[in-house]
Chains A and B, each alone.
Chain A
């Protein structure tokens, strides 16, 4: 057929030439038709271009995936936007800004607020809190939350009020304007005598606000704490009332330097000038001193220069005069009943004690600095995201509510605006691969937990449990699949009848083509419940079957040749079948008995002894027993891995040059001796490469793991618990990950890791196989 085709093409070439008779020796007769040449050229180009394009495209996939994960490792970028010169007469206490960063304000210590347009630097309006409250203000404290901010103001006559500042976006025809709204709350007296409020701090939600203040009484400063509680009403806001005022002067030694109140309004910390921190918690409607600690005890100067909350109000950012930057976090330590502050991290030191501090409202980042330099840091990973310097002293700073702006006010009353681009502050090698001490945890750990129930939840993106889970799944799959497939490959290549190979290979190919979703479904809904209460039987089968077969083999090989001759070599695998069946039957029925003898658990409550492997395992090892566990996954993954290892290993084994095996057999070695001493050593690289490819398949397997495990990221190798692998993690989380968010990119990084692992394994295997081929050719 092919020859006729080529013949046809030849005649076609001939006839497309100029019409001529046989005698005509016109050279154009021998010319190829222009169309043919043109087609040839076009097709050559198309195939060259197309082929190259396809190959490049396929390879570019991984460049794309890798590129998507690259921004995770970038640092924060800060670009200057504009600088606004403020009225030099303003004596700023602190600066603030709205959610959009369009209408920042400067607050003076006497309660004067200047709202400034960030676009043109003009003062939009000035509000005087003193006028608003009709009282002379002696102290102001700002509590900032996403959405709104509250000024807690203390007056000269010992009263206080909470003033809410709200920004309201007003949409006009073609633009959006930000309007501010100040809502002064009621004035409450902090004492029966009108002592001026020297220092005030407050925070809280709409329902519960905690206010701590220092009153300058003639006999000495008094430290008082109270709460504003709003009763719940069905319609509209309920009534607000002040609780009892607690005088805590006696509890605190020394002069109070700073007070911080947490956002929930039920805790506060007080710093004195000697560097001691007093931690109070409201319990039973009264503040109780829970802990006193000195964070810089181990350094030369104990004094704390700055103390501030990180977003979430469970971590204190502290610095001392020499610029040491430490974090203390609240958690329940092991063996302790209550949450207390403990040292967690030290960040790179500053030039000196922090003079300004601004926390992010979105994540655990904060801006801190001394003198004219500032540094943007991330609390969880204890890393510096960005650094900068102005040419004059920085007085006050604030981070935009969306973590997209930086506002700095310097000593010359200039307001510097910066654009901040830092989409993935929580990422980085430390976060992905290292132990991280997360807030609320009693020690640094490897944790993958990308989403949580609360707002102040921080994503925990450690790849270590996922990589470990991947290795765990692979390990158990290989433990089952590797011996089986290698034995099968050895038998098929060396001992089975050659004609039989033609049947067995398609069977293995069918096995390889079984959809993993089917295997996963069977693992989870059929196998897992089936062996859940039959684990002893299963474990027995694993040991008994090989034992039985070996014993049978020994007995058989000792039988007289007259008996043995009835079994043709190459048919052993059929004869083994009844032995295996017997092994399964015996272990299935013996399992419960074994369970009764070895795995009984005594329950003191019900006074019952029960033979249950699941309970026994949990009591003896202290590790959980799950229905969907690694055993099930390992077994089912065998279906996916066995045919792959088998095919490659069998190829390598059966392609060992005949001359070698023939020589060995001729020298009197038995077929087993030939196989084990000649064939296996020669084909060993091939077996190794089969192992590599099998590993690659097991690592990347997704659906079986998704379906047949609980998908909990764990850090153990307990065979009776599940795991979460890299691939399952992607399948579970990517559909929910916001586009270009940290989780999204982290999952791309996971895919990159997965790709690298399998690609490296496959490349090793392929190179080894190439070498082996050359070796065989030489032999």
Chain B
């Protein structure tokens, strides 16, 4: 007996000497958490780094290459990647490094990215006078400036100290003229086009009603004639502006020695990447970010900015919120404050909760079937019969997209609002009722204000989800390039039937439908960074509000 006790004691001792039981497994579980956290942080930093790198004005190099055959070649550009050469591992072979160079000058060289064997590189230089020009067409150009031809027939040599200033002035002027032309074409001519389209449809409608040739039709015809005349005047004005702006021409030599002419009106911006100091680099960095956010896309979306996508995302999300908040909150109030708490309500609650877990594509399917084809088709039949067979509402558009997303996010809002209503202490309700307030007054003035932060959290989460969903939008009206914004200066100002651009879809489209996916990559990373920042910011603010709320009403909610 005593012996066994001793044994047991010994065992405990042994166990202690070996350490606490299962301690190794605790470390194992810690690994799970570490990997998870590392994944998030890694992903965010990857996107942050790659996304911001796009805007950083890197130094440009000139490489002297000598291939195995002995021919030498010069190449200018920016080093974008250094990697091990892909291929088979053969016995005894050394690791081969290659550089990926962004060489621009797409119209001459064909491909803007090229891989260069490290062993072929003879010399790497960073010439100060290397210029990088952002152009309207064919992407960026690298070259050595030769001269600047002025409209009066003069010529400023690249060596001239005034060269850079004159070029900047020329580009600035060209940008201003371009803007003016755009205003005329987009705003004024756009308005007239819209009116012409409208009148033509009216005429068609009259024809359908067999009233062609009546006084009414004559009147419309006369108006049309008038519109065409106005159109001609504006078009002439735009032409005139275009002719005026022609004049300055930049002459530069690309790395192969070829001389090229570039008219200033085809230039967006230029800089000497190797002349910038740190502050200037940072300025240019900010400048490029600004243009990315504010400009319209060019060159099949791979150049320029993403403004229409930001605007589309914003309008869609706001419209969605307008639909989702009142109805979601109303449903939550009903469930929590009005409905008799019983089995049925519990079932409804579970069902609504589960809807938040239903795949978003299912909502997209509903959006197509119900909103686009059924409702939209009926609206077209009733109100836009003259435009048929071209659908107006019977096709994807921003209204249907936001309604679809509203349905998708309504469970999120209901669940969050209900939870926050539930966390309002009953004493507050009872106090209000005891003071003689009616039920609605209690809800309106006591319960809702107390639950507002929680409702707001749900609302923000819904917005974040709405802004980041792409799958359902692909079905209900998002497009790669929308010619017009959903809100503009043409009556009735808000065009809910229009298709729109979306940041998430922009990523999908650029990365997967783009003809030159390598050239599109920087743009995708930049857009991704923007979208991620938006979503993370929304989520963080929701978390912050919830934390504050939690401090206010400490009520267990599991």
With A40-B439, A514-B535, A703-B471 already in contact, the answer to whether A676 and B333 are too (CB < 8 A) is no
CA distance A496 to B444 in the complex (A): 42
B532 touches A64 (CB 8 A): no
A472 CB to closest chain B CB (Å) equals 16
A526 interface residue, CB < 8 Å from B?
yes
Closest CB-CB distance, B59 to chain A, in whole Å?
25
Known pairs A51-B335, A487-B28; A748 contacts B365 (CB<8 A):
yes
Q: Contact check, A550 vs B528: say whether CB atoms are below 8 A apart.
A: no
B37 CB contacts on chain A under 8 angstroms: 504, 507, 573
Say whether B435 contacts A9, CB under 8 Å. Answer: yes
- Give every chain B residue within 8 A of A59 (Cβ-Cβ): 351, 355
- Give Cα distance in the complex from A577 to B159, angstroms: 56
Q: Which of B37, B46, B410, B504 lies at the interface centre, i.e. has the most chain A CB atoms within 10 A of its CB?
A: B37
Once the chains bind, are A639 and B38 in contact (CB under 8 Å)?
Answer: no
A313 CB within 8 Å of chain B? no
Interface residues of A in 616-662 (CB under 8 A from B): 638-639, 642, 646, 651, 655
- Of A5, A550, A592, A638, the residue contacting B449 (CB under 8 A) is A5
A593 CB, min distance to chain B CBs, angstroms: 9
How many residues of A are counted as interface, with CB atoms below 8 angstroms from the partner's CB atoms? Answer: 139
| B interface SS class | helix
Q: Which of B19-27, B177-185, B273-281 makes up part of the contact surface?
A: B19-27
Residue numbers in B under 8 Å from A701 (CB-CB) = 359
A54-B470 contact given A576-B34, A702-B361, A751-B365, CB 8 Å threshold: no
Q: A23 at interface (Cβ–Cβ under 8 A)?
A: no
Proximity bits, B17-48, A CB within 8 Å = 1, else 0: 01111111111111111111111100110110
Give the dominant DSSP class at A's interface: helix
Q: How far is the CA of A502 from the CA of B355 in the complex (A)?
A: 28
Q: List the A side residues contacting B470 at CB < 8 Å.
A: 515-517, 703
Q: What is the minimal beta-carbon distance from B410 to any residue of chain A, in angstroms?
A: 6
Residues of A contacting B432 in the complex (Cβ-Cβ under 8 angstroms): 6, 9
Residues of B within 8 A of A751 (CB): 361-362, 365-366
Inter-chain contact A55/B352, CB cutoff 8 Å:
yes
Instruction: Check B31 against A612 for contact (C-beta < 8 Å).
Output: no
A495 to B28, CA, bound (A): 11
Min Cβ gap B525→A in Å is: 9
Does residue A775 face the partner (Cβ distance < 8 Å to B)? no
> Does B350 reach chain A (CB closer than 8 Å)?
yes
Q: A700 to B358, Cβ gap below 8 A?
A: yes
Contacts A533-B86, A730-B364 given: A766-B539 contact, CB under 8 Å? no
Which of B18, B28, B39, B445 is packed against the most chain A CB atoms within 10 Å? B28
Decide if A483 touches B532 in the complex (CB within 8 Å).
no
Tell me which residues across on chain B come within 8 A of A673, comparing CB atoms.
21-22
Residues of chain B within 8 A of A676, CB atoms compared: 22, 25
> Taking A32-B438, A50-B334, A556-B24 as contacts, is the C-beta distance between A6 and B531 under 8 angstroms?
no
The bracket for how many chain B residues form the interface is: 35 or more
- Tell me the chain A residues, 536-576 only, with Cβ under 8 Å from chain B: 545-546, 549-550, 552-554, 556-559, 564, 572-576
Give the Cβ gap from B331 to chain A, nearest Cβ, in Å: 4
By a CB distance below 8 angstroms, the chain B residues around A44 are 338, 439-440
Report the separation of the CA atoms of residues A100 and B363 in the bound assembly, to the nearest whole angstrom. 39
Residue A193 interfacial (CB < 8 Å): no
* B330, B445, B540: the one within 8 Å of A47 (CB): B330
Residues of chain B within 8 A of A747, CB atoms compared: 365
Q: How far is the CA of A64 from the CA of B330 in the complex (A)?
A: 23
| Residues on the B chain within 8 Å of A703, using CB | 470-471, 508
Interface assignment of A22: CB less than 8 Å from any CB of chain B:
no
Interface residues of A in 504-545 (CB under 8 A from B): 504, 506-511, 513-518, 520-522, 524-526, 533, 545
* Cross-interface CB contact of A9 among B354, B355, B441, B464, cutoff 8 Å: B441
Residues 499-522 (chain B) with a chain A CB within 8 angstroms: 504-505, 507-508, 511-512, 517, 521
Residues of B within 8 A of A767 (CB): 350
- Closest A residue by C-beta to B413: A54
Alpha-carbon distance between A46 and B47 when the two chains are bound, in angstroms: 47
Specify which of A13, A51, A517, A639 is in contact with B504 (CB 8 Å cutoff). A517
A639 to B43, CA, bound (A): 10
- Do A734 and B365 form a contact, CB below 8 Å, given A487-B31, A533-B86? yes
Q: Are B441 and A36 in contact (CB under 8 A)?
A: yes
Contact A610–B90 (Cβ < 8 Å): yes
B543: chain A residues within 8 A (beta carbon): 506, 509
Q: Do the beta carbons of B31 and A580 come within 8 Å of each other?
A: yes
Contact A507 B354 (CB under 8 A): no
B348, B511, B539: the one within 8 Å of A524 (CB): B511
Closest residue of chain B to A750, judged by CB? B365
Residue pair A51, B338 in contact (C-beta under 8 Å): yes
Q: Is A58's CB within 8 Å of the partner chain B?
A: yes
**Which of A483, A572, A639 lies in contact with B26, CB distance below 8 A?**
A572
Q: Is the CB of A754 within 8 A of B359?
A: yes
Q: Are B30 and A758 in contact (CB under 8 A)?
A: no
What chain A residues lie within 8 Å of B528 (beta carbons)?
Answer: 518, 521-522
The one of A64, A492, A612, A706 that contacts B369, using a Cβ cutoff of 8 Å: A64
Which residue of the partner chain, among B31, B34, B43, B531, contacts A522 with CB atoms under 8 Å?
A: B43
A577 lies within 8 A of B38 (CB): yes
- Interchain CB contact under 8 A, B24 and A2: no
Contacts of A655 in B (CB 8 A): 558
Contact of A576 among B30, B362, B431, B464 (CB under 8 A): B30
Q: Is the CB–CB distance between A9 and B24 below 8 Å?
A: no
Q: Counting CB contacts under 8 A, is A7 at the interface?
A: yes
**A459 to B368, alpha carbons, bound, how many Å?**
22
B558 touches A651 (CB 8 A): yes
Residues of A within 8 A of B486 (CB): none
Given the complex, which residues of A lie within 8 Å of B538, measured CB to CB? 513
CB distance from A631 to the nearest CB of B (A): 15
Instruction: Say whether A702 contacts B24, CB under 8 Å.
Output: no
For residue A671, which residues in chain B have a CB less than 8 angstroms away from its CB? 20, 22, 26
Beta-carbon contact of A9 and B359 below 8 Å: no
A277 on interface, CB distance cutoff 8 Å? no
Nearest CB of chain B from residue A489's CB, rounded to whole Å: 8
Q: Is the CB of A672 within 8 A of B350?
A: no
Contacts of B335 in A (CB 8 A): 51, 55
Asked whether B475 is an interface residue with its Cβ less than 8 Å from the other chain, the reply is: yes
Cβ contacts A583-613/B at 8 Å (1 or 0 each): 0000000001001100000000000111110
B30 CB contacts on chain A under 8 angstroms: 491, 495, 549, 572-573, 575-576
- List A residues 400-455 near B (Cβ within 8 Å): none
Task: Determine, out of A101-109, A220-228, A294-302, A691-699, the stretch whose residues face the partner at the interface.
Answer: A691-699
Smallest beta-carbon distance A713→chain B, Å? 17
- Asked whether A492 lies within 8 Å of B33 as measured between CB atoms, the reply is yes
The answer to whether B366 and A64 have CB atoms under 8 Å apart is yes
Q: Tell me the A40-84 residues at the B interface (CB within 8 Å).
A: 40, 43-44, 46-48, 50-52, 54-55, 57-59, 61-62, 64-65, 68
How distant is the Cα of A68 from the Cα of B216 in the complex, in angstroms?
44
B364-379 CB contacts (< 8 Å) to partner A: 364-366, 368-370, 373
Name the contact of B536 in the complex, choosing from A9, A510, A517, A693 (C-beta under 8 A). A510
Residues on B with C-beta less than 8 A from A496 are 33
* Measured CA separation A494–B32 after assembly (Å): 13
Residue of B nearest to A491 (CB): B29
Q: Can you list 26 contacts pairing A with B, beta carbon distance less than 8 Å?
A: A1-B449, A7-B435, A10-B435, A44-B338, A44-B440, A51-B332, A65-B369, A491-B26, A495-B30, A507-B37, A516-B470, A524-B511, A526-B46, A550-B25, A558-B18, A577-B34, A608-B88, A610-B90, A670-B20, A676-B25, A730-B475, A731-B474, A731-B475, A748-B365, A758-B354, A762-B358
10 closest Cβ contacts across the A-B interface?
A51-B334, A700-B359, A487-B32, A672-B22, A553-B24, A515-B468, A553-B27, A557-B19, A610-B88, A557-B23
Given contacts A9-B435, A492-B33, A758-B359, 16 further A-B contacts (CB under 8 A): A1-B449, A51-B335, A55-B334, A58-B355, A68-B369, A514-B535, A524-B511, A549-B31, A608-B90, A610-B89, A642-B36, A670-B20, A707-B508, A754-B359, A755-B358, A773-B558
